Amino acid sequence: MKKIQIFDTTLRDGEQAPGASLSPEAKIRIARQLVKLGVDVLEPGFPISSPGEFAAVQQISREMQGIEICGFARSVREDIDSALKATQDAEKRRIHMFLSSSDIHLDFQLRKSREQVVEIARRMVAHAKQFVDRIEFSPMDATRTGEEFLHQVVEAVIAEGATIINIPDTVGYALPEEYGRLFTRVRQGVRGGNSVEYSAHCHNDLGLAVANSIAAIQAGVTQVEVTVNGIGERAGNCSLEELVMALETRKLTLGVETSIQLQEIYATSRMVRREMNFPIALNKPIVGRNAFQHEAGIHQDGLIKNRNTYEIMDPIQMGIPRKMIILGKHSGRHAIKHRLSQLSIVINDQQLEPLYEKFKVLADTQKIVTDAELVMLLDDPAHPS
């Protein structure tokens, strides 16, 4: 199995989600949990952006062991120097710098020519290379950049010593096949293209971030940039838990593995939700409340007989407390009997029938029937079951 590096950017790109900002203390708490989760690379923030941010990156660099810390910077000398300083005590580190490459960014944001962009990228990589060996370079908005120019930028930064090339789908525009092909063509079309590592960084504007990351892996990419709960700008980044579980569930097909400790996934998701005060959609894959809950009678019946009838993953594996059956108006007799047995209440078929009738009346008036309500129906003296 080929190892895929999990690069976590919850504390940098994830924190850019509106309303999700974190105190330095909260960042440190989350970083500790991310180490426990087993991510390979941790991008703890943007050191130049504020003194608190610098301090958090510095403390995380000093404290976290067995993990590579990534200092984030624009392709600007002051940013790079600040990222170098903040990460200087890390056991293992890299500098990650970015510079826009698409015409729309060059014309309206940077107001620079293509020649100027190549020159800046070249100079800034050369500057960082004096102090650190591992340099990741991101041509921002790469998926909307003309291919020839993208190759020119990548070739220039490799020549100056960049060791990791990230191809960000900054605005979540790419389709899986074309995103995978982009990596293949960069690797084959750029001088030095075979001498570096490649990274995928996908945003979820079209709901394709996980699919695009998998396409990149299938094209040979060895690092994926993700956030817990898929948090990030706009519709967010590629979700760590979704991608990792896709790789795990389909590992025989994909031939890859990660070092993520699956049983820490749920605890990490809860912690990020709490610290960022950012709700998770009920139907979000893996960590949403409904992800492993079933209401339809036919599904419940199947699950009681064999979990694999309607589940492709075992939630226990990700540390998710199992409560797979939700009682509601679609539930059948089997599910009611099963839930009562989980509550150590055994009933016979004569008791079940009247209980089922009362259950259906109640379920018609509300969305779900709780365990307490079920037991109350069973005990209701006015309507003995």
Distances in Å between the Cα of 168 and the Cα atoms of 23, 33, 56, 114, 352 are: 27, 26, 25, 18, 57
Kindly tell me the sign of the dihedral angle through the C-alpha atoms of 218, 219, 221, 224.
Answer: negative
The CA-atom distances, in angstroms, between 367 and each of 86, 161, 223, 301, 330 are 51, 59, 43, 20, 10
- Choose between 93 and 203: whose C-beta lies nearer to ligand KIV: 203
Residue 81 buriedness (CB in 10 A; 0-12 / 13-18 / 19+):
middle
Task: Please answer whether residues 8 and 258 qualify as being in contact, where contact means their C-beta atoms are separated by less than 8 angstroms.
Answer: no
Element (H, E) at 270: helix 265-276
Distances (CA, A) of 366 to 68, 200, 283: 50, 45, 19
Least Cβ distance, residue 74 to ligand KIV (angstroms): 9
- 234 vs 322, beta carbon nearer ligand KIV: 234
Give the integer Cα–Cα distance in Å for 2 and 161.
25
Q: Which of residues 152-181 bind ligand KIV (CB under 6 A)?
A: 166, 168, 170
Query: Rounded CA gap, 337 and 324, in Å?
Result: 14
Cβ-closest position to Zn ion: 13
- Shortest distance (Å) from residue 170 CB to ligand KIV: 3
Nearer to ligand KIV, 80 or 336 (CB): 80
Contact between 248 and Zn ion per CB under 5 A: no
Residue 140 contacts which entry, ligand KIV, Zn ion, none (Cβ below 5-8 A, type-dependent): ligand KIV
Residue 26 or residue 202: which is nearer to Zn ion going by CB? 202
Among residues 6, 7, 10, 13, which is the contact residue for ligand KIV, using CB under 6 A? 13
Q: How far is the CB of 327 from Zn ion (least distance, A)?
A: 41
Q: Which of residues 4-23 bind Zn ion (CB under 5 A)?
A: 13
Residue 199's SS3 state is strand
Q: Taking the complex as a whole, how short is the minimal distance between the CB of residue 341 and Zn ion, in angstroms? A: 48
Which tokens go with 328? 């509601």
Cβ proximity to Zn ion: between 13 and 136 the closer is 13
Binding of ligand KIV at residue 201 (CB under 6 A)? yes
Nearer to ligand KIV, 54 or 137 (CB): 137
CB of 238 to ligand KIV, least distance (A): 10
- Given Zn ion, ligand KIV, none, residue 138, with its beta carbon under 5 to 8 Å by kind, binds ligand KIV
Q: How far is residue 362's CA from residue 181's CA, in Å, rounded to a whole number? A: 55
| 43 is a site residue for Zn ion (CB under 5 A) | no
**Residue selected from 22, 64, 140, 245 as contacting ligand KIV according to rule CB under 6 A:** 140
Q: Is 138 in the site for ligand KIV (CB under 6 A)?
A: yes
Which chain residues interact with ligand KIV by CB under 6 A?
13, 98, 138, 140, 166, 168, 170, 201, 203
